[in-house]
Structure 1
Amino acid sequence: MIVPVFNPGETFDDLVASLDRQTMPAADFEVLLCDDGSGEPTRERLDAVARERSNVRVLHLPHSGWPGTPRNEGVAAAAGEYIFFVDQDDYLFDAALEKICDYADLHSSDVIVGKEVGIGRSLPRQIFRRDIPQAVLGKDPLLEMLTPHKMFRTSFLREHDIRFPDGRVRLEDHLFVMRAYFLADTISIFASEPCYAWVKHPGSASASRIDPVTYFPHLEAVLDLVEAHTEPGRLRDKLLRHWFRGKILKRLSGRQMVKYPAAHRDRLLDVVQPLVEARFGTGVDDGLAFPNRIRAALLRADRRPELLRLAEFEVGPECHAVVTAAKWTRGGGLDLTVDVRITTGGRDAFAVEDPAPGSGRVAWVPTAALGDLPPALLQSSRGVRRETIEVLIGDEITAQERRLLTRKPKKAGPIHLAIDPLRVFGREDRARRAGLSAKIRRGGWSFETPLTADPAVLAGLSASPLLAGRTCRLIETDTGALELVREWPGGAAKDFAGRAVRRLRALRKEMTADRRR
């Protein structure tokens, strides 16, 4: 394990403690603390950590000012079969090394992406929805996580001379990881268990505002790498779309765009508008969500006032997800009817009209505040009407959110959701309550809001049935948000009965499917 270190704070102790808790025996892994020229107190602190642990070594290095060079020195000094890059203010889950190494051995992986969990930050969810032993670049969501917090086969890195750039290079992790992705025979995603806790701290580099003039040449280096390893066409466009969306269009959207001082906004647009024309063909736009297709077209046309008005509109909508009916089923589920409304200025924020009946296309009717956007930009055969709702569970113990279910309604109107309390609370879960919220995607825009309900709906809800497991109640908190609260620690027999019946149901389904085959 390679950890670049420079004058770490108290959170470094959390990392060290997580290494001590690893289920993999200490004799089976080595930790290289690569000190980037820290002061004497840090040098003594690191040496003390190493003295107390036989599997820890410290490399005292000249100061380089960036983590790339310390990581490279760690790769050169590493003796293990695999290399795992960890940052000094993050930590590992207890079984991370054992699980991820077993998975890599099983699949002969060159690159292994272990499940990351955001602490104080939200992370993409698609990449960690399931294990993918042989992930394919351009098909599987590998680009969602380009952090260096991954494991690599040591011989693979050395054979291909894959290194981080030395010195202060932005997006150095993208350069390293993408080169590894292009050259690897086998890339694996291990999503079954959490491995890496990526912690957000105040003042982190990822939270600071960029200088457009100095930042975007580093982005162009990543684009050069992609173009060097791909031919013109769909794959290249799909890969380039990731950086166009995440590093350019995201900076021109919503609250981020609105809060810029006017001088910074002009400076940013002065840099990115010619960059987009030079580096991103119009084929890159084709796979963008509806709002980003509008944004990209306005950017290409250098229509700056309209870009700002679009961002101002995105700040304004209010989203409400209100439970209008609730009932328990005999099978132990909680059926909810939810009315979702997204409004701005008292009207539907995403009203549409049919500009040409029978064409299969609809046109968004934006608010007057947006001014006169080109009509062609507002038409779409997909996207503007598309809606997805995810129900999220707020874990009482970890304070993390997790996805419970996803629905894609086929028509407008109330949405019907079925919640299983035994999925809300896991078998080993000790939590008594779970907050319920909804993430709504409509027209390409995303909103997150607590589930709420009229008190009359809650008052009319009957007691939970036996097959729901421990007795559960749907309650309203002081803020108006809904929580599912259960009996604890009693009721274990009810949980056992509910889970047993669900296992029988699943077995019957399997037997029925087998007979049909």
Structure 2
Amino acid sequence: MSVVVPVFRPGPSFDDLIASLDRQTLDPTAFEVLLCDDGSGEPTGERLAAIARTRPNVRVLSLEHSGWPGMPRNHGIDAARGKYVQFVDQDDYLFDGALEKLCDYADANASDVVVGKEVGIGRPLPSRIFRHDIPRATLGTDPLLEMLTPHKMFRTAFLRANGIRFPEGRVRLEDHMFVMQAYFAASTISILASEPCYAWVKQPGSASSARIEPETYFPHLETVLDIVEAHTEPGRLRDRLLRHWFRGKILKRIAGRRMVKYPHEYRDRLLDVVVPLTQRRFGPGVDAGLGVANRIRAALLRADRRDDLVRLAEFETGLECRATVTAAHWSRGGGLHLTLRITITYDGKDALVFEMSRSDAPTPGARNVGGSDALGSIAGRGSAAATSSGAKKITRLTSLPLSSLEGLPANLLVVDRELRNDRVDLILRDGPGTERVLSGRRPRDLSAVAVSIDPVRSFERTDDSRGGPLSVKVRRAGWTFDVPLEAAPAVLARVGRSPILAGRTCTLAVSEGGAVELHREWPGGGFKDAAGRAVRRIRRAVQRH
């Protein structure tokens, strides 16, 4: 095994990386560390030499300065003596035992690529890719595109035989180019999700947070798209893959608050590049898997409707969601039952308004939010329904502030699919960066959403938790909101502490600002816990039989 680390004038966090390599359970004779120094100069050179002096498995490659990590990584591939190459960046570190677990997993599955579980330190990471182990993942079916960082393990002979290299020099998205070449060439791609392997650390002022330069960034994106198109035929797989970059690298940049905050000059430069790029590279098949908001953005981009793109972004920025407790009570079985009212407004008026009509009816025109020309609307289920005569009905969004729908796709505002995926989750945040979903529902009516909490099950594996603020994650017609749960003190005044069968004592409290908190207390906790566990065992026995 060879660990390849591109190095350029590393800071104090580099010591954490070296320490994590020292703690690996793989015998030091079974792996090497290649510190590929990108022309850092004398102080760094001395630091690296001191590290290698006391570690026989560490080698330092002193290179000319290139300014980007592609060239040092390529030198690491060329110099590697191990069966596998694991890329690690200088500000990150490996979890204890990661190398041994990755090697064993690759050996067991004859893997060309292993995507070890990444954990974000100070940064959020996609979660779907690491829900469970996938020994043989399929590109386009499994969520491989969620994590295109180079922090993976590759079979060394596989990289060399297929000529898979990082682009060198000042190239954006160089990791996407490298990983996608590997994905297409690999016989077996494996995801190791059950063990944390790689800590991806967010550093202050990192380049990923800087605003891109459209004229130089998007040609590199097109290189990635060229790789995808060179390895796929026109059709669903290609559209599914291209959709990833369309959604994440273009549509995300012209949505909501980000779009509104752009200076006018920068916004014009951005659109000057992405409008023709969208027209040239992303067809209707790519749009088919997008949510309604992104479908609208895509259509407006192709039509070069810049004012409407700004109106849509301002509308999204101005959407306000509130989740309020209207009723609460404990059941005899120890469950806490809440009724929530969810409101989504724009400028104080109802937003995300819908109309149900026949599928063969003409598409209604757009209206301004809160305008006097409001169409007949519905607030309920939103899924396609059949009339008594068998004619299908569809649901359209009618509350967007577009100038018109002329020249846009006829069914652009149909939202039946999105409404079927509506969801309300009640979340407890009981520590920095931690959250627990206590209850989830697919709501039929946002004015009265019933959620329930089982305190025994919610807290049974977190003895150190004392509770915390409650929040609500609302998914409505493809838009997502994460808001604090609110309540008037009078609504919760009569709820009281949890009954004996709920286990340890729980109470609802309201802060001065009206936010709801779930407090966990311990008076008489031993007896209450025993009773709660007994009830839980009985319930499980009944469910089994």
- Please give the TM-score of this superposition, normalised by the length of structure 1: 0.89
CA distances 1:390-440 after superposition (whole Å, capped 9, x unpaired): 3444342x5344555543334544222233445544636533334432222
Aligned counterpart, 2:404: 372
Contact kept in structure 2, 1:350 and 1:384, CA below 8 Å: no
Aligned counterpart, 1:133: 135
CA distances 1:26-60 after superposition (whole Å, capped 9, x unpaired): 45443322221113222222223333444433222
Distance 1:43 1:233, change over 3 A: same
Q: What are the equivalent positions in structure 2 for 1:280-429 lying under 5 Å apart?
A: 280-356=282-358, 358=387, 359-366=392-399, 369-374=401-406, 376=410, 377-383=412-418, 386-396=421-431, 398-401=432-435, 403=437, 406-422=440-456, 424-425=458-459, 427=461
Which of 67-76 and 210-219 deviates more? 67-76
Aligned counterpart, 1:200: 202
Contact kept in structure 2, 1:118 and 1:197, CA below 8 Å: yes
Displacement, 1:467?
A: 5.0
The unaligned stretches of length 5 or more in structure 2 are 360-386
CA distances 1:189-232 after superposition (whole Å, capped 9, x unpaired): 22224332222223222111111111111111111110111111
Which of 497-506 and 152-161 deviates more? 497-506
Aligned counterpart, 2:146: 144
Aligned counterpart, 2:489: 455
SS at match of 2:89: coil
Which of 123-132 and 219-228 deviates more? 123-132
SS at match of 1:366: coil
Query: What amino acid maps onto 1:360 in structure 2?
Result: K
Which of 272-281 and 236-245 deviates more? 272-281
CA distance in 1, matches of 2:60, 2:424: 49
SS at match of 1:378: coil
Aligned counterpart, 1:438: 472
Displacement, 1:321?
A: 1.8
SS at match of 1:361: strand
CA distances 1:153-178 after superposition (whole Å, capped 9, x unpaired): 33322332222111111111111111
1:167 aligns with 2:169: yes
CA distance in 2, matches of 1:337, 1:346: 23
Displacement, 1:89?
A: 1.6
Aligned counterpart, 1:190: 192
Displacement, 1:500?
A: 6.9
Displacement, 1:495?
A: 5.2
Distance 1:72 1:427, change over 3 A: same
Contact kept in structure 2, 1:424 and 1:434, CA below 8 Å: no
CA distance in 2, matches of 1:395, 1:161: 49
Aligned counterpart, 2:378: none
Query: What amino acid maps onto 2:397 in structure 1?
Result: W
Aligned counterpart, 1:122: 124
Match among 36, 45, 65 for residue 34 of structure 1: 36
The unaligned stretches of length 5 or more in structure 1 are 513-517
Tell which structure's C-alpha radius of gyration is larger: 2
Percent of paired sites with the same residue: 64
SS at match of 1:287: coil
Which of 324-333 and 273-282 deviates more? 324-333
Distance 1:384 1:104, change over 3 A: same
Aligned counterpart, 2:45: 43
Displacement, 1:490?
A: 9.1
Displacement, 1:473?
A: 2.9
Which of 320-329 and 310-319 deviates more? 320-329
CA distance in 2, matches of 1:426, 1:22: 32
Match among 217, 240, 243 for residue 241 of structure 1: 243
Displacement, 1:352?
A: 0.9
Distance 1:408 1:384, change over 3 A: closer
CA distance in 2, matches of 1:66, 1:296: 33
1:486 aligns with 2:529: no
CA distance in 2, matches of 1:464, 1:20: 49
Distance 1:460 1:224, change over 3 A: same
Displacement, 1:315?
A: 0.6
Displacement, 1:98?
A: 3.9
Aligned counterpart, 1:267: 269
- Please give the TM-score of this superposition, normalised by the length of structure 2: 0.85
Query: What amino acid maps onto 2:69 in structure 1?
Result: P
Query: What amino acid maps onto 2:486 in structure 1?
Result: T
Query: What amino acid maps onto 2:249 in structure 1?
Result: K
Contact kept in structure 1, 2:488 and 2:514, CA below 8 Å: no
CA distance in 1, matches of 2:69, 2:271: 30
Distance 1:103 1:382, change over 3 A: same
CA distances 1:56-113 after superposition (whole Å, capped 9, x unpaired): 3322221111111111222222233332222222233334334444433333332222
CA distance in 2, matches of 1:448, 1:84: 37
Aligned counterpart, 1:515: none
Query: What amino acid maps onto 2:453 in structure 1?
Result: I
Query: What amino acid maps onto 1:31 in structure 2?
Result: V
CA distance in 2, matches of 1:192, 1:497: 33
CA distances 1:304-336 after superposition (whole Å, capped 9, x unpaired): 110111111111111112233333445554333
Matched length:
509
Distance 1:309 1:218, change over 3 A: same
Match among 83, 86, 106 for residue 84 of structure 1: 86
CA distances 1:470-508 after superposition (whole Å, capped 9, x unpaired): 333333345543333324699467657655764665466
Displacement, 1:119?
A: 2.8
Aligned counterpart, 2:364: none
CA distances 1:361-406 after superposition (whole Å, capped 9, x unpaired): 2221225x5443448433343325741223444342x534455554
CA distance in 1, matches of 2:523, 2:72: 49
Distance 1:502 1:134, change over 3 A: farther
Query: What amino acid maps onto 1:431 in structure 2?
Result: S
CA distance in 2, matches of 1:330, 1:22: 52
